[in-house]
Amino acid sequence: MAEVSAGRHAGTRSSTARSEELAARAGRVIPGGVNSPVRAFASVGGAPRFLVSGRGAYVTDADGNEYTDLVAAWGPALLGHAHPAVIDAVKSAAERGLGFGASVPAEAELAEEIISRVPAVERLRLVSTGTEATMTAIRLARGATGRPLLVKFAGHYHGHSDGLLAEAGSGLATLSLPGSAGVTEATAAQTLVLPYNDLPALEAAFTEHGERIAAIIAEAAAANMGVLPPEPGFTRSMIELAHRHGALVILDEVLTGFRAGPSGYLGVLGDELRGDGTGDPVAPDLLTFGKVVGGGLPLAAVGGRADLMDLLAPLGPVYQAGTLSGNPVALAAGLTTLRHADAAAYSRIAAAADAIAGAVSSALDGAGVPHRVQRAGTLFSVLFGEFAAAPRGYAEVQRQETVRYRAFFHAMLDQGVNLPPSAFEAWFVTAAHDDAAVERIVAALPGAARAAARSL
Ligand SMILES: Cc1ncc(COP(=O)(O)O)c(C=O)c1O
Ligand SMILES: N[C@H](C=O)CCC(=O)O
């Protein structure tokens, strides 16, 4: 292994004074000092780093410390930070105007690019955030079926709209919140929360409420309670069951889309859904995308069957709109990202993910720290604690030893590796994670594993 160069990223506990000053200032005018709760370091403690720049696999904080990054803006930076082609495309789009509130040519180009990768998508509507995408998909499902109820799974996260916050993953899991204040009982009653990977529970819900269920919404592979993929056959059975009862399936690929693989996690599931010669092919009815499709700028999408999508206004009765929807600068970032996300980029991401996940496991084994590395395509995360078998759902991952993650996280940060500040989030590798970046991460692992070992 090449020697890791000495510097402010490599093993030195550098000053965080500027980040601390900025956090104090932000805390006076912004609730909790953050504009999204997971940034607050609430469960790991310590000073959130204020980041001022990023390039490739690295980010730099306000004190000038450089970190090898495994957050990747929570997914969008598939090619790495400030990829030159993306920046050029953004600059030239911005020079032509920041937005017009009118149709622009790149909207159809992005829709075509996504449709060419995901056959289940026949039409696409662009929005600005993943939250809007799932909210629109649910309204569409209710509009299409005339039914009120939605099924979601515990530990899955679909953004912060009212009906989706019960037993949700991501920041709610991080902060141990069972749901959110401010959601009316009437709204909460429209969502049935079921355990993930539990077909009998799903069957029972359809037996009891079948005629009233509009849709099931599921992350294509859960990645907001740590990574927890569907068990073999679960997605297929879920779709078949919903369709038998006249309900729709919304597969949420906001996080996994064009990241877990070139066609998202639906592509990873491939043969299972195609029937593999043993049954008819099945497909979700609606899909949601975000993160990678905007290449780092606010852009997301809902897509799916043409007959359903055409129920959206102005063709149909389901209303949806957005002043900023289809923004040309965001489109330039998203299109350029997807066009550079070729086989070579995915194989680089897969190789780096394999190398890092393997090295994490060896280091933790070496330090005697019980753990499980959880995988879904190129996504992974680490569960600390004794798990005799792969966890199936939220109740099991909630039993993980978050104290160990906290120690591990800080030891990595001190050595210049930026991990998600929560034991419930996925780790994001980019196509810019070359051997040098991987080696920096690997070099930090033994110390972090020892810190995790000492933490209990
Ligand atoms: C699976 C999933 N769906 C929806 C969302 C919401 O997206 P956004 O944060 O862009 O609103 C997220 C965000 O993390 C997500 O991971
Ligand atoms: N879990 C979320 C995305 O993956 C974290 C991003 C956020 O909500 O700020």
Ligand 1 atom nearest to CA at 252:
1
448: confidence class by pLDDT, cuts 50, 70, 90:
very high
Is 37's pLDDT higher than 50?
yes
Which of 69, 252, 285, 414 is catalytic? The answer is 252
Q: How far apart are CA 143 and CA 119, in angstroms?
A: 23
* Neighbour-count burial for 168-182, b at 16+ CB within 10 Å, e otherwise: bbbbbbbeeeebeee
Instruction: State how far the Cα of 333 lies from the Cα of 349, in Å rounded to an integer.
Output: 19
Ligand 1 site-directed mutation target among 252, 254, 286, most atoms within 8 Å of CB: 254
Q: Within 6 Å (CB) of ligand 1, which residues are found?
A: 129-131, 134, 157-159, 170, 219, 224, 252, 254-255, 290, 300
* Token pair in block for residue 147: 């039914």
Per-residue model confidence (pLDDT) at position 247: 98
Quick check: helix, strand or coil at residue 216?
strand
At residue 13, the pLDDT reads: 52
Decide if the complex's ipTM is over 0.85.
yes
* CA atoms of 322 and 285, how far apart (whole Å): 23
Closest among 152, 120, 44 to 273, alpha carbons compared: 120
The closest ligand to the CA of 252 turns out to be 1
Higher pLDDT, 116 or 273: 116
- Residue 183 to residue 163: CA distance in whole angstroms: 8
Q: In what order do the strands lie in the sheet with 66-69?
A: 51-55, 58-61, 66-69, 417-418
Tokens of residue 143, six digits: 């509009």
pLDDT-above-70 percentage for the chain: 96
The pLDDT assigned to 276 comes to 67
Q: What is the mean pLDDT of the chain?
A: 95
Q: Is the pLDDT of residue 4 over 50?
A: no
Report the alpha-carbon distance of residue 172 to residue 164 in Å, rounded.
Answer: 11
pLDDT at res. 5: 41
Which of the 8 DSSP states describes residue 388? Answer: S
Per-residue confidence band for 279, with pLDDT thresholds at 50, 70 and 90: confident
Whether the Cβ atoms of residue 330 and residue 104 lie closer than 8 Å to each other? no
Q: What is the mean pLDDT of residues 420-432?
A: 98
pLDDT band at 58 (very low <50, low <70, confident <90, very high): very high
Question: How many residues in total does the chain contain?
Answer: 456
Q: What are the structure tokens assigned to 419, written together?
A: 């991990």
Q: Provide the β-strand partners of residue 55.
A: 58
- Give the residue from 397, 419, 388, 395 showing the smallest Cα distance to 406: 419
Active site residue 152: no
- Residue 220 has phi, psi (to 5 degrees) of -60, -40
Known catalytic residue at 91: no
Q: With pLDDT > 90 as the criterion, what percentage of the chain qualifies?
A: 93
Give me the mean pLDDT over the 199-217 stretch.
Answer: 97
d(CA 300, CA 131): 9
pLDDT attached to residue 8: 53
Nearest atom (ligand 2) to Cα of 425: 1
Answer for the pair 335, 107: CB distance below 8 angstroms, yes or no: no
Quick one: DSSP state of residue 290? -
Q: Which ligand gives the minimal distance to the CA of 39? A: 2
Q: How far is the CA of 35 from the centre of ligand 1 (A)?
A: 14
Strands 248-253 and 286-289: parallel
Is 61's C-beta closer than 6 angstroms to any atom of ligand 2?
Answer: no
Residue nearest to atom 4 of ligand 2 (CA): 74
Is residue 355 predicted with pLDDT exceeding 90? Answer: yes
Q: Is the CB of 224 under 6 A from ligand 2?
A: yes
Q: How deeply is 309 buried, as exposed, middle or buried, from its count of CB atoms within 10 A (0-12, 13-18, 19+)?
A: buried
Q: Which residues contact 189 (CB under 8 A, 6 or more apart)?
A: none
pLDDT tens for residues 370-394?
A: 999 999 999 999 999 999 999 999 9
Rounded CA gap, 350 and 353, in Å? 5
Residue closest by Cα to atom 1 of ligand 2: 170
pLDDT digits (tens, 9 = 90+) for 141-191: 999 999 999 999 999 999 999 999 999 999 999 999 999 999 999 999 999
Q: How far is the CA of 441 from the centre of ligand 2 (A)?
A: 22
Nearest CA to ligand 1 atom 7: 130
Q: State mean pLDDT over 365-374.
A: 98
What is the position in ligand 2's atom list of the atom closest to the CA of 36? 9
**Which of 36, 170, 177 is the pocket-test mutation for ligand 2 (most atoms within 8 Å of CB)?**
170
Q: Ligand 2 mean position to 295 CA, how many Å? A: 15
| Beta bridge partner(s), residue 173 | none
Among all bound ligands, the one having the nearest atom to the CA of 381 is 2
Task: Using most ligand atoms within 8 A of CB, pick from 30, 34, 35, 36 the residue to mutate for ligand 2.
Answer: 36
pLDDT per position as a tens digit, 288-309: 999 999 999 999 999 999 999 9
Catalytic: 291? yes
The 3-state DSSP class for residue 182 equals: coil
Q: Which tens digit of pLDDT belongs to each residue from 76-132?
A: 999 999 999 999 999 999 999 999 999 999 999 999 999 999 999 999 999 999 999
3-state secondary structure of 136: helix
pLDDT at 1 over 50: no
Say what the pLDDT of residue 271 is: 82
**CA of 159 relative to ligand 2 center, distance in Å:** 8
430 lines ligand 2 (CB under 6 A): no
pLDDT given at position 216:
98
Among 291, 346, 394, 405, the one annotated catalytic: 291
Q: Whose C-alpha lies nearest to ligand 2, atom 2? A: 170
- 36 CA: nearest ligand 1 atom: 9
Contacts of 25 (CB under 8 A, 6+ apart): none
Average pLDDT over residues 212-221: 98
Find how far residue 381's CA is from the centre of its chain: 12
Q: Is the pLDDT of residue 265 over 60?
A: yes
